[in-house]
Amino acid sequence: MIHLTEQYRQFGISEAVYEFGKEILASLQERFIQIDQVAEYNQLKVIRAMQTANVSEACLLGTTGYGYNDLGRDTLEKVYASVFQTEDALVRPQITCGTHALALALMSNLRPGDELLSPVGKPYDTLEEVIGIRSSKGSLKEYGISYRQVDLLPDGGFDYEGIRAALRDKTKLVTIQRSKGYQTRPTLSVQQIGELIAFVKGIRPEIICMVDNCYGEFVETMEPSQVGADMVVGSLIKNPGGGLAPIGGYIAGRKDCVENAAYRLTSPGLGKEVGASLGVLPSLYQGLFLAPTVTASALKGAIFAANIYEKIGFPVVPDATQSRHDIIQAVTFGSPEGVIAFCEGIQAAASVDSFVTPEPWDMPGYDSQVIMAAGAFVSGSSIELSADGPIAPPYAVYFQGGLTFPHAKLGILMTLQRLLDKGVVTSDFKRRS
* 181 torsion bin: left (phi>0), alpha (psi -120 to 50), beta (else): left
DSSP 224: G
DSSP 234: E
Say what the pLDDT of residue 182 is: 80
Last residue of a domain, one of 278, 313, 337: 278
Say yes or no to pLDDT of 221 above 90.
yes
80 and 133 in a common domain = yes
Q: What is the pLDDT of residues 26-36, one digit of tens each?
A: 999 999 999 99
294 and 272 in a common domain = no
Percent of residues, the chain, with pLDDT higher than 70: 99
233 and 302 in a common domain = no
Neighbours of 335 (CB within 10 A): 14
Q: What is the pLDDT of residues 1-25, one digit of tens each?
A: 468 889 999 999 999 999 999 999 9
Q: Does the residue 56 lie in any domain?
A: no
The total number of structural domains that make up the chain: 2
367-370 CB contacts, 8 Å cutoff, 24+ apart = 367/125, 367/128, 367/134, 368/392
Chain mean pLDDT for the chain: 96
Residue 214's CATH number: 3.40.640.10
Structural domain containing residue 32? 4-42+289-421
pTM of the model: 0.95
107 and 76 in a common domain = yes
200 and 68 in a common domain = yes
Q: Which residues contact 44 (CB under 8 A, 6 or more apart)?
A: none
Say yes or no to pLDDT of 433 above 80.
no
Q: What is the pLDDT of residues 278-301, one digit of tens each?
A: 999 999 999 999 999 999 999 999
Last residue of a domain, one of 278, 308, 341: 278
Strand 316-317 to strand 249-253: parallel, antiparallel, or no bridges (unpaired)?
unpaired
Say what the pLDDT of residue 432 is: 86
Say what the pLDDT of residue 1 is: 45
Are the C-beta atoms of 299 and 418 separated by less than 8 Å?
A: no
Last residue of a domain, one of 217, 247, 278: 278
341 and 274 in a common domain = no
Bridge partners (DSSP) of residue 372 are 388
356-365 mean pLDDT: 88
219 and 300 in a common domain = no
106-135 mean pLDDT: 95
Residue 34's CATH number: 3.90.1150.60
270 and 157 in a common domain = yes
Q: What is the pLDDT of residues 368-403, one digit of tens each?
A: 899 999 999 999 999 999 999 999 999 999 999 999
Say yes or no to pLDDT of 253 above 90.
yes
Say yes or no to pLDDT of 181 above 90.
no
